[in-house]
Structure 1
Amino acid sequence: MNSWHELPRAAFDLETTGRDPQTARIVTASIILVNGRGETLQHHEWLACPEIPIPAEAAAIHGITNERARAEGGNPAAVTAEVAEVLAGMFAAGIPVLAFNACYDFTVLARECERFGLTVPHPMPVIDPYILDKQVDRFRRGKRTLTAMAEHYGVGFENAHTSAADVAATLSVAAVMAEKYPELQCDARTLHDSQVSWAAGQAASFQDYLRRRDPEAVIDGSWPFRAAPDREPGSVLDPA
């Protein structure tokens, strides 16, 4: 059986209104489907006009201002429905979807779907280079952002923090990792199941570290998305 990185695969990324995936709204979305040789088969792009203002700090990262979103963005419910439909089709076909820090993007999508009364696509199989890198090179110092990992693995990366550039970099980083680490060469569903366990272990380790100073620190190890929390509006989640 060929490994996932030698077969058709997709990548998914969102740019949003904020850092909390439980409350952030979609601003841009990108999905790219490639064949086993990495050649593009489909390229989907969306720009939404969210129902809330885009904060200046978010616009500074992804470059989408409120003015542009209002002038060019689509209806957020329609955009969310189209993104969910494309992803659902990928998963139904057994095509793995790569997403860097997948828990953020799929949690945002789940909350948006629920907000608009849409069916949430079941994310399976998902491949997350962020989780993979923490597993295969767990003691490496430095940041594990997509930009830092692209540099570490020798992948060119321009226009970081646009959804289109991020999906392309995610595909490239994952391909390099799969070639470098034989333990990542397997079928996508097997790797998905492994990442569920790895993410839980990584969260538990980080929680133990934080509890040296804060005995009540809690890190959610759910992956590839998190359930809606039972919390008061405006409260802050632990970071992914």
Structure 2
Amino acid sequence: MSWHLGRMAGFDLETTGVDTETDRIITACVVLVGGKHPTQSTTWLANPGVEIPDGAAEVHGITTEQARAEGQPAGQVVEQVIAALAQATYAGIPIVIMNASFDLTLLDREAERHRVHPLTGEGRSDLRVVDPRILDRQVDRYRSGKRTLTHLCQHYGVRLDAAHSADADALAAYRVARRQANQYPQLAAMTLDELHTAQVGWAAEQAASLQEHFRKTRPDAAVEGAWPLIPRQKEATP
């Protein structure tokens, strides 16, 4: 049976911003779906311990006041999210993450910040990730337009309710990945190991191509190509 017909775990974070080294988790969702079993969704709201910028609050709808009043301590949320993802990984379930290098890297930095054993730590090398953004750029390289989750949902005919809420985005990412495998047999024919390894290479190639494009007007432009986890920077904020 192809990987896209079995059980998968959708994962998404909403955060204080877009800097993986310094920003914090606000909400998270892990949704187990597919494989002819009932959908199981778990969501978390964290108190990040910092102010939530107005711009971020406008995106996901969570204010500093709400996070402080209703959110769990951030360290507890990080520990529980990693435990849920690790459990899926140990069961051989792939994790579907739109723009995986952002979510997994930010989760990794939060684990370091709160002294939680990271998802990608020793003994967890069997993590297998499916990233609809990487897949779309590979199978349809020359399509114009944006490739956000909203745009991919429109392109693949996937319903997206309440965009920028972690639970809706996690489920939508799963649905997009399944549609991609249905539409492109070369993806469905791969094993999870083959697909994961291929995405590592595809991500690097896509980043190099984008960097070359940017350097036509900005000679110093740099595009990160590491996937699914960006290595720690020496200047990372503790």
**TM-score, normalised on structure 2?**
0.93
Match of 2:94 in 1: 96
Structure 2 distance, partners of 1:38, 1:162, is: 24
Greater Cα offset, 21-30 or 194-203 = 21-30
Helix, strand or coil at the partner of 2:193: helix
Alignment of 1:149 with 2:152, yes or no, is: yes
Query: What is aligned with 2:119?
Result: 121
Which one-letter code corresponds to 2:96 in the other structure? L
1-structure distance, mates of 2:8, 2:236: 38
- Using the alignment, how far apart are the partners of 2:236 and 2:68 within structure 1? 30
Q: Deviation of residue 91 (structure 1)?
A: 1.4
Map Cα deviations across residues 82-130 of structure 1 (whole Å, 9 max, x no partner): 0011111111222100000001100110000000111111272000000
Q: Which residue of 2 aligns with 1:162?
A: 165
For 2:72, what is the secondary structure of its paired residue? coil
1: CA distance between counterparts of 2:182 and 2:88?
Answer: 24
* TM-score, length-scaled by structure 1: 0.93
Displacement after TM superposition at 1:35 (Å): 3.2
Does residue 13 (structure 1) correspond to residue 12 (structure 2)? The answer is yes
The aligned length equals 231
Q: Identify the match of residue 201 of structure 2 among 197, 200, 204.
A: 197
- Return the offset for 1:24: 1.2
Shift of 1:66: 0.9
Q: Does 1:50 align with 2:53?
A: no
Q: How does 1:51-70 map to 2 (within 5 A)?
A: 51-70=49-68
Find the counterpart in structure 2 of residue 218 from structure 1: 222
CA offset at residue 214 of structure 1?
2.3
CA distance in 1, matches of 2:167, 2:37: 15
Q: Provide structure 1 residue ranges, at least 5 long, that are not aligned to the other structure.
A: 234-240
Distance 2:5 2:132 in 1: 16
Match of 1:137 in 2: 140
Give 1:195 shift.
0.2
Partner residue, 1:236: none
1:109 aligns to what SS in structure 2? helix
Letter in 2 for 1:7: G
Give 1:39 shift.
4.0
Q: Secondary structure at the match of 2:147?
A: coil
